[in-house]
Structure 1
Amino acid sequence: MEVSGGFTVCDVFPSLTWLQVLSGMRAKIEKMHHKVDQMLESIIDVHKVSRERAEKTEEEDLVDVLLKLQQCEDLEFSVTHENVKAVILFFPIYIPKHSTKLILDTFTDH
């Protein structure tokens, strides 16, 4: 999180993209993005493998529900792979822990 923890000249002049290149900020951000993306892909892959093996060792969690929604064809909207990664990344930040079970129960009941 070192990349996002400070103030840079690029923050003041975001339209000057060459500043991002010179400062090395763009490379740092792209490297961090790649690491986070790999982590999210790994989480999804683990859940997909356990679903394929029909391993039912635990209750379904958010990722399982999202992957199940992704397979539903009768939804009015589509759930893309990028949507799943975005929810995995931001859900814990925006939803207090005490309401997580309530929301998951709501998703799975419908």
Structure 2
Amino acid sequence: METSSGFTVCDVFPSLTWLHALSGMTAKIQRMYHEVDKMLQSIIDAHKVSGERAEKTEEEAEEEDLVDVLLKLQQSEELELSVTNESVKAVIMHRSKHIFNIFTDH
């Protein structure tokens, strides 16, 4: 959380981005990216496992969330564009941002 809050000298002076490397900020950001990526992948994997189960009941089908719908689109061959895991992760992150904003807006 500390990495994402506030700003650094590089934010004010973009020409000094090399300071990120000296300050260790680049390594922190990359570590944080990999942690978030693993978490998002585990969400996708969990939804894939639950989606591979035998036929769903009508109730379970009604309880599908956005990730389930995106994974169905990913499996669909009718689309001209492909829905990748990266696309699904981006949508999850975007929706999460809105959820966190709801709780932090006063």
> Is TM (by shorter chain) over 0.5?
yes
Give the SS at the match of 1:93: helix
What code does the residue aligned with 1:56 have? K
State how 1:66-77 maps to structure 2 within 5 Å. Answer: 66-77=70-81
CA–CA separation in structure 1 for the residues paired with 2:82 and 2:9: 40
User: Which string of whole-angstrom CA distances, capped at 9 and with x for unpartnered residues, describes residues 42-85 of structure 1?
Assistant: 00000111112237373211111000000111113211111011
| Residues 1:47 and 2:51 are matched in the alignment | no
Unaligned runs of 5+ in 2: none
Q: Once the 2 structures are TM-superposed, how far is the Cα of residue 94 of structure 1 from its aligned partner? A: 4.4
Give the SS at the match of 1:64: helix
Give the SS at the match of 1:15: helix
- The 8 Å contact of residues 9 and 16 in structure 2, kept in 1 or not, is answered as no
The CA RMSD measured in Å over matched residues stands at 2.3
Residue of structure 2 in register with 1:61 after alignment: 65
What code does the residue aligned with 2:44 have? I
Unaligned runs of 5+ in 1: 98-110
TM-score, scaled to structure 2? 0.78
TM-score, scaled to structure 1? 0.76
Residue of structure 1 in register with 2:24 after alignment: 24
- The 8 Å contact of residues 40 and 89 in structure 2, kept in 1 or not, is answered as yes
